[in-house]
Structure 1
Amino acid sequence: MKKLIFTGLLAVAGLTSSANAQIQEGNWLVGSSLLSSNFGLNTGGGYNIQLTPKAAYFVADNVAVGGYVNLGISKVTNGSPTAFDYGVGGLGRYYLSPGEKGVDNLLNHGRWFFEGNVGIGGRNVENSNSTTGLDFGVGPGYSYFITPNIGLEGLVKYQGQAGFGNEGLNSAITFNVGFSIFLPTSKGREVMNDVKN
């Protein structure tokens, strides 16, 4: 029991480390877009809800590379068919530094970023069109750090799927809200070592 309490305290200490260190080389980003709405660019576009877990490693300061999984379900109206979206692939993020290229932060505890993804995915609509193939997207976002290592995020993204099926290209502009946890690699190793002992 003492080890469990001590491990919990170390994890909390890791979450409250320096605010300037969360997007440095060697750290991890783990998070998810929890709420997404879109305005379809194709006929029949509407609103949807998606869950998109993400994990990335900072290969350099302000640059993270990782992966994502996308699962979503949508209905345009009560009488319309249900649509299921899915995808898995790689993603990259670049965080702008304060003052970079004339870009200033709106708030003192946040950072602008650009996110891009590419992978395999598709969209299946009940008794209707489907697309399976290349899943891709790109767009800007903003992360507001409510603690030094936890950020609330907003992301506007062009998202598309191109490939095989009844519909060659399916695309939309999505508005996503979610969170990310930034974990220093050194703190993660300390917690794992304490759990082993």
Structure 2
Amino acid sequence: MKKLILTGIFAVAGLTTTANAQIQQGNWMVGSSLLSSNFGLNTGGGYDIALQPKGAYFIKDNVAVGGYVNLGISKVTNGSPTEFDYGVGGLGRYYLSPGEKGVDNLLNHGRWFFEGNVGIGGRSVENGDSTTGLDFGVGPGYSYFITPNIGIEGLLKYQGQAGFGSEGLNSSLTFNVGFSIYIPTSKAKQMVNEVK
């Protein structure tokens, strides 16, 4: 019971760090886009739901690199074929500092960022259309920190897949909503040691 109480105290202490601490060198970001709206740039574009887990390590202040996985399924209408999207690869994020390049924070508890990804992925449709090969994307986002270590995020992203299959290139403009948890490495180690 004592270990559980101490762990809870350290978790709360971790949530009360300053707002700039979450994107410092040595911290981790773990999160996922839970809702994805897809405005297709190709014929037959529509809406989809996708789960996009991602994780990154801050190699220096405001710069994180890591990986992602995309799993999605969509159906434009009842009569349309089901579409399955998948991908895995590396991602990078750059967070803008307040006032950087004339960009001010929209809110005091948030940060603008740019995200890019590249990996292997594809798209498969029931009617036989498919693309498998390079999975890539880029776009701006905003993370609003509801606590110093938890952010709700919106991300507008150009997403594409190029390679082999019946479609050489497939692309879309997506708006993703999700969350991220920012974990200071020192706090994570401290919590693990306290539990032991």
Superposition TM-score, scaled by structure 1 size: 0.97
2:166 matches 1:166: yes
Runs of 4+ with deviation above 3 angstroms = none
Match of 2:108 in 1: 108
Gaps of 5+ in 1: none
Q: For 1:72-87, what aligned pairs fall within 5 Å after superposition?
A: 72-87=72-87
Shift of the alpha carbon at 1:12?
A: 2.6
Shift of the alpha carbon at 1:65?
A: 0.3
CA distance in 1, matches of 2:45, 2:128: 14
SS at 1:131's partner residue? strand
CA distance in 2, matches of 1:18, 1:99: 18
Match of 1:149 in 2: 149
Gaps of 5+ in 2: none
Look up the equivalent residue of 1:88 and give its one-letter code.
V
Q: For 1:133-148, what aligned pairs fall within 5 Å after superposition?
A: 133-148=133-148
Contact 1:15 1:183 in 2 (8 A): no
Q: Any idea what the Cα deviations from partners look like across 1:146-183, whole Å, max 9, x if unmatched? A: 11111110000000011111111110000000011111
SS at 2:195's partner residue? helix
More off after superposition, 15-24 vs 3-12 = 3-12
Match of 1:131 in 2: 131
Look up the equivalent residue of 2:128 and give its one-letter code.
S
Match of 1:39 in 2: 39
Shift of the alpha carbon at 1:16?
A: 2.1
Shift of the alpha carbon at 1:74?
A: 0.3
Contact 1:95 1:112 in 2 (8 A): yes
Shift of the alpha carbon at 1:107?
A: 0.8
Superposition TM-score, scaled by structure 2 size: 0.97
SS at 1:11's partner residue? helix
CA distance in 2, matches of 1:111, 1:181: 14
Instruction: Number of aligned residue pairs: give it.
Output: 196
Match of 1:184 in 2: 184
Look up the equivalent residue of 1:84 and give its one-letter code.
F
CA distance in 1, matches of 2:45, 2:127: 16
What percentage of residue pairs aligned between the two structures are identical?
Answer: 85
CA distance in 1, matches of 2:30, 2:163: 29
